[in-house]
């Protein structure tokens, strides 16, 4: 099974000790395949440095468990526009399509309201975790 985690899920996985951290552990144990793209990876680094004020070295250290968990960072040319209010969300949808993901896991209400996009199920981290019970 292939999944794409939205930026907010990956940030939560390394900042908190909740369900997102548990999902990151599952992917590091290879219970499913996690795919990402340069857009999401860049967005994580930007948020860690700007919002959480981590230094370059601290950001690199924080990224290590994410990088270990991801099976592939795919470069793609899929373009999605005007589906979500936020163009960044369209980029995340494009990543999920390019990855041929079964699931896009997100905490973003603007994405969750879609529920499904061109065959990709869009679900919360808690609902994704429930698939493993």
Residue 128 confidence class, pLDDT cut points 50, 70, 90? very high
Of all residues in the chain, the percent with pLDDT exceeding 90 is 86
Per-residue model confidence (pLDDT) at position 86:
75
* Vertex 130 angle, CA 97 and 95, to 5°: 15
Residue 85 confidence class, pLDDT cut points 50, 70, 90? confident
Residue 82 pLDDT exceeds 90: no
Q: Phi-psi bin for 69: left (phi > 0), alpha (psi -120 to 50), beta?
A: alpha
Q: What is the token pair recorded at 119?
A: 């065959």
The pTM for the full model equals 0.93
Say which DSSP state 29 is in: T
Per-residue model confidence (pLDDT) at position 87:
74
Say which DSSP state 75 is in: -
Cα 33–chain centre separation: 12
Q: Which fold has domain 2-130?
A: Rossmann fold (3.40.50)
Residue 73 pLDDT exceeds 90: yes
Helix, coil or strand: residue 94: helix
3-state helix, strand, coil in the chain (%, to 5): 50, 15, 35
The whole-chain average pLDDT of the chain stands at 93
Domain locations along the chain = 2-130
Per-residue model confidence (pLDDT) at position 60:
93
The owner of tokens 């590091």 is 28
Per-residue model confidence (pLDDT) at position 95:
96
Q: Rounded mean pLDDT of 29-34?
A: 95
Q: Rounded mean pLDDT of 86-112?
A: 92
């Amino acid at each position: 099974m292939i999944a794409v985690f939205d930026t907010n899920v990956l940030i939560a996985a390394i900042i908190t000790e909740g369900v997102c951290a548990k999902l990151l552990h599952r992917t590091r144990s290879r219970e499913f395949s996690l795919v990402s793209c340069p857009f999401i990876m860049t967005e994580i680094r930007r948020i860690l440095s700007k919002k959480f004020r981590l230094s370059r070295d601290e950001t690199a250290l924080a990224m290590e468990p994410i990088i270990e968990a991801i099976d592939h960072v795919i470069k793609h040319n899929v373009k999605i526009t005007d589906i979500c209010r936020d163009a960044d969300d369209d980029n995340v949808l494009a990543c999920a399509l390019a990855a041929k993901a079964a699931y896009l896991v997100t905490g973003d209400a603007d994405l969750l309201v879609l529920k499904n996009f061109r065959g990709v199920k869009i679900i919360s981290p808690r609902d994704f975790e429930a698939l493993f019970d």
